[in-house]
Structure 1
Amino acid sequence: MAQRPEADVIRLTLPAQAEYVGVVRLTVSGIANRMGFAYEEIEDIKLAVAEACTNAVNHAYDRAAEEMELSVTCRVFPDRLVIEVADQGKGFWFDREPADLRPIHPDADLDDVAEGGLGLFLIHALMDEVDVQVSEGVTVTMTKYLRGDGVACDDRADSEAEA
């Protein structure tokens, strides 16, 4: 009998266009719902993924580029969902720690804050783990753990309880 893989993998390749971000949101929402995430967690996941996709759509490619693709990979583990959003466009500088990501200057009036620039801050705030790799394009890997009573699930504890 073949051994089950460590994670189920779902891959999407889409044009890097704003009208396809909704397709990614719906797909990720369905996967998270199937896994048993709470409604609020699903909304957080959808927002974080939409921010990562929107960043790629808006910043990765020169609009004259012919092949503007966005790749989204979801890895479904028993205790977590890992989502990778990747583009092959131009990279960007990213040498700040998550604690250094701030949405606005602390003294700024909210009416004076320009739209944009909140993407990475939101992604870090909404997901449990975030990794950004910049090479030939940008890959944002986001992880959300399934929780039981506010604590990340531990399969070993579940297995011991069943024994």
Structure 2
Amino acid sequence: MKDQVKDLVEMTIPAKAEYVGVIRLAVSGIANRMGFHYDDIEDMKLAVAEACTNAVDHAYQGTSGQVQVAFQIYDDRLVIQVTDRGNSFDVAAVKARSGPIESHLPLTSLRERGLGLHLMETLMDAVEIDGNDGVVVTLTKFIHGDEVDRDVDSPAKTQTHR
């Protein structure tokens, strides 16, 4: 069955900013092993770091907590779930107030207005957020094959006439 999880990697980190880099390294290692292109790996690292940073900054509000990250490895995609059991939030309200980016506002206000959510949606192929019991952010990135066929102009296939 093609849609079955091949491997599952789970990590739990303290909800502290200094551990977000550990998750970025894990994303990089797993995605590289799966055969993702460099740009896609960088996009995933940024999106996952944003999801983890949101959990660190907003979920526990000064109390200790944990962030769970699950990497579900499929043949054609990587699904990453970032879960906290802290404060939930209204996803629709965040999207409604984020609106279009206004250049006259300071960058700090953009971040508070849902820029992270917009960033995740731009960088990933799919983003789902469940805010019912804590927050679960599910990020999906498909492995996109080369845009052109491999070895189209390789020396082995190109004949030279002298």
Say which one has the larger Rg. 2
Amino acid across the alignment from 1:148? G
Over the aligned positions, Cα root-mean-square deviation in angstroms equals 2.3
Please, which of 135, 143, 149 is the counterpart of residue 138 of structure 1? Answer: 135
**Is residue 2:120 matched to residue 1:123?**
yes
Identity within the alignment, %: 51
C-alpha distance in 1, partners of 2:5/2:49? 26
User: Equivalent residue for 1:113?
Assistant: 107
| Residue correspondence of structure 1 range 1-150 to structure 2 within 5 A | 6-63=5-62, 65-66=63-64, 68-95=65-92, 102=99, 104-105=101-102, 108-109=103-104, 112-114=106-108, 116-117=111-112, 118-150=115-147
Q: Could you tell me whether the CA contact under 8 Å between 1:102 and 1:121 is conserved in 2?
A: no
Q: Secondary structure at the match of 1:47?
A: helix
- For structure 2, which runs of at least 5 residues remain unmatched after alignment? 149-162
- For structure 1, which runs of at least 5 residues remain unmatched after alignment? 152-163
> Which is richer in strand?
1
Number of equivalences:
142
Q: TM-score, normalised by structure 2?
A: 0.80
C-alpha distance in 2, partners of 1:100/1:44? 24
Amino acid across the alignment from 1:43? E
Give, in angstroms, the shift of residue 114 of structure 1: 2.0
